[in-house]
Amino acid sequence: MTQTPLPPGHRWHDMGGTAAGPVPDDQHDFALWEKRVDALMVLCATKGHFTVDGLRRVLEDMGAEAFETMTYYERWIVSVSQNLIEAGVITQSELADKMQQVAARGPTYGEATA
């Protein structure tokens, strides 16, 4: 996507004042999995495992391409997972193993949710 070059010192997410097209008018109702991501973020932050600043730091490090190609809660689940790995709450291999188990359960969200 064509974007205005950012002023020096501005990272991609610092988009205030840059040129952009019309404000989009599409709206979706949040799916259950998205609400669960939101809930996990709030609960883990409330319990002190990471902060909203940690959430944002990973979102920002994911870069502009992730912003354009992934949905909001797709980016959030990556950030929540990464923050919990960094905090030592889970490990990368635990997450990978569990994702394989989930994938083996079936092709839809309903089937894969135990």
Partner 1 sequence: MPHDHADHDHLSPSGHPYRKDQDAPLTHWQQMEIALRELLIDKGVTTAGEIQNQINAMDSRSPANGAAVVARAWTDPAFKAALLADASAATREMGFDIGPMNLIAVENTQAAHNMIVCTLCSCYPRNLLGLPPDWYKSRAYRARTVKEPRAVLAEFGVTLPDGMTVRVHDSTADMRYIVLPARPKGTEGMDADGLAALVTRDSMIGTGLPLAP
In the complex, the residues that contact partner 1 under the rule CB under 8 A are 13-33, 35-40, 42-44, 47, 49, 52-53, 56, 59, 67-68, 70-74, 77-78, 80-81, 84, 89-90, 94-95, 98-99, 101-103, 106-114
| Closest C-alpha among 56, 26, 44 to residue 88 | 44
Question: CA of 96: how far to CAs of 75, 76, 85, 109, in Å?
Answer: 17, 17, 12, 18
Question: What is the token pair recorded at 73?
Answer: 């809660």
Taking the CB of residue 35, how many other CB atoms lie within 10 A of it?
12
For the CB of residue 5, give the shortest distance to partner 1 in the complex, in Å.
13
For the CB of residue 2, give the shortest distance to partner 1 in the complex, in Å.
12
Query: What whole-number distance in Å separates Cα of residue 63 and Cα of residue 31?
Result: 25
Residue whose CB is less far from partner 1, 8 or 57: 57
Residue whose CB is less far from partner 1, 5 or 108: 108
For the CB of residue 11, give the shortest distance to partner 1 in the complex, in Å.
9
